[in-house]
Structure 1
Amino acid sequence: MLVISIQSQVVHGHVGNSAAVHAIQAEGVNVAAVPTTLLSNHPRYPTLRGRVLEAELVADLLKGVEERDLIDEAAVLVTGYLGSPGIAAIVADFVERALSRNSKLVYLCDPVIGDDGRVYVADGILDVVRHRLLPAASLITPNQFEFELLSGITIAETETLRAAAAAIAGQGRIDIVATGCTLNDTPAGQVETILSADGQLSRFATPRLPIRPYGTGDLLTGLIAAHLAKGTAIEAAVRLAVETIFAVLVRTQEAGSAEMRLVPLPTSGA
């Protein structure tokens, strides 16, 4: 079992691969982690060191992934924060080659674009995500803002959520896990993760805690990828991932930590 995960990496904190890799390994799945950035920390801190990697370096690392035949071994391919339009185009090329080479590969696209009503990625990345990565994906994991941005539909209830899912899928088949959702009928004090698969909705509500550490979406995506790599059905994979995330957040709140407390990761045992 192997997951290839292409996203950001930080020295301190848990975002991108610095969240996903530990989660995938804790679930007993091997991971080949390809960085798109190497930063000291996420942008919430007053200083930020490091940089988005050169597109040529990322391309070289991905060439090495192909040379080691990791695509043939992999069950799931994950993409997350891409860093620059050049990297986005190189990753899109790699995704196309990987899916052509391994027809059984599940491509999980986390369309990291923005949150809280604002886009925070470089100009040009959104176009690559929308026109190249989403059409190739088996599963995407946007937050509510990204879901609305990509679909062009404001999501307020299940009807508009279904319409947004249909708009993204077009004539194809894309399962969607929408995170951080609050709909008109979401119970007060709760937040939902909503799965749209095969025309059906599955909703997973948890209490909304008074903390917002960075990287929860990256952790969720990593956990879902790990469960899918082990052969878990999509609905069960999402449920198990949501349960683990909530356990991590409860422990983080109890510790009074600004960063998620991942170690040891509560695992499903599935």
Structure 2
Amino acid sequence: MTPPLVISIQSQVVMGHVGNSAALFPLQAAGLEIAAIPTVVFSNTPHYPTLRGSALPAEFFADLLQGAWERGLPQRAEYVLTGYIGSVEVARLMADFVARAKAANPRLRYFCDPVMGDEAPGLYVPAAIAEVFKDSLLPLADFASPNPFEISWLTGQPIRALEDLPRAAKALRMAPGAHLIATGCVLADTMPGMLESVVLGPDGLSRHPTPRLPVSMVGTGDLFTALVLAGLARGRGLPPAVEFAQAQTSRALAEAARLGAKEVMLTDPEFRAALLTL
């Protein structure tokens, strides 16, 4: 049986685990075929004293997308996953690619991780890129995994309590029948010491609390989203896929803390073994 194909369009770094550099290993370990297309290629994340590399030039990025078409990848993929975008030109090319791919392949499901910002740093992409997420990419999305800051920026609605999320989900104008996974939520009634992922979709709403670890590391959201997609692509329902992703992301964070690393680590034996169970 041919493994499910995922087209993953995200950042890539030489050192560390963010974007595709966080997503590829868990997706492949789960038995999926991955076509990885970079939006930026950096030496490392911006959290170090120096940063080398750049966003892909739009013409180069468009050429890679054309190569994907010439190999028939959108026509046979089951999922397209998108994450961090380095320029507004690449964002627009990505939106066109996803729209064309969904038109060419009605089975294709689009998972949009609108990597835009967070509470502490605020918006860390240009507003023009965030607008492409809002106006072009999220309306195509079958699944999306924004955090509360991103939801609030995209909808103009603060996320403080559970009842804020259904209103905001409607304002995102996602594809018909889509599912929103609100990640990293600390709501008015969230238990102390916990974070929640809240899943909203046609079947209603479900809450998925997980212990809040005393660490904050780059790559956490990219890894979580890839693990959710791995669960979905291997036939799990969305709530079980979210809980699997929470458990394995916590393992990766704990391993990074044990090693004194600045970003998530994918080397924990139990983390790697769990991927094989999918």
Aligned to 2:105: 102
Matches within 5 A, 1:122-137: 122-137=126-141
| Segment drifting more, 158-167 vs 97-106 | 158-167
Identity of aligned residues (%): 46
Q: Within 2, Cα distance between the matches of 1:27 and 1:88?
A: 28
Matches within 5 A, 1:51-66: 51-66=54-69
Q: Which runs of 5+ in 1 are unaligned?
A: none
Q: Within 2, Cα distance between the matches of 1:208 and 1:256?
A: 18
CA deviation vs aligned residue, 1:104-150 (integer Å, no higher than 9, x gap)? 11100011111125111124111111111010110101011001111
Q: Within 2, Cα distance between the matches of 1:170 and 1:64?
A: 28
- AA aligned to 1:27 is A
SS in 1 for 2:12: coil
- AA aligned to 1:15 is V
Matches within 5 A, 1:28-67: 28-67=31-70
> 1:231 deviation in Å?
2.4
Matches within 5 A, 1:1-270: 1-116=4-119, 118-169=122-173, 172-198=176-202, 200-263=204-267, 264=269, 265-266=271-272, 267-268=274-275, 269-270=277-278
> 1:171 deviation in Å?
8.3
Q: Verify the 8 A CA contact 2:148 2:182 in the aligned structure 1.
A: yes
Could you state the TM-score of these two structures normalised by the residue count of structure 2?
A: 0.93
> 1:169 deviation in Å?
3.4
> 1:254 deviation in Å?
2.2
Q: Which runs of 5+ in 2 are unaligned?
A: none
Q: Verify the 8 A CA contact 1:76 1:228 in the aligned structure 2.
A: no
> 1:22 deviation in Å?
0.9
Q: Within 2, Cα distance between the matches of 1:168 and 1:29?
A: 29
SS in 1 for 2:254: helix
Question: CA, structure 1 residues 111+226, in 2 after alignment: closer, same or farther (shift >3 Å)?
Answer: same
Q: Verify the 8 A CA contact 1:3 1:225 in the aligned structure 2.
A: no
Could you state the TM-score of these two structures normalised by the residue count of structure 1?
A: 0.95
> 1:170 deviation in Å?
6.8
Higher relative contact order (CA 8 A, sep 6+): 1
CA deviation vs aligned residue, 1:209-252 (integer Å, no higher than 9, x gap)? 11111011111111122222222221221121111111211222
Task: Kindly report structure 1 stretches of 4+ aligned residues shifted beyond 4 Å.
Answer: none
> 1:199 deviation in Å?
5.1
How many residues matched? Answer: 270
Q: Verify the 8 A CA contact 2:142 2:175 in the aligned structure 1.
A: no
Two-structure CA RMSD over aligned residues (Å): 1.5
CA deviation vs aligned residue, 1:36-68 (integer Å, no higher than 9, x gap)? 101011111111111111011111001111111
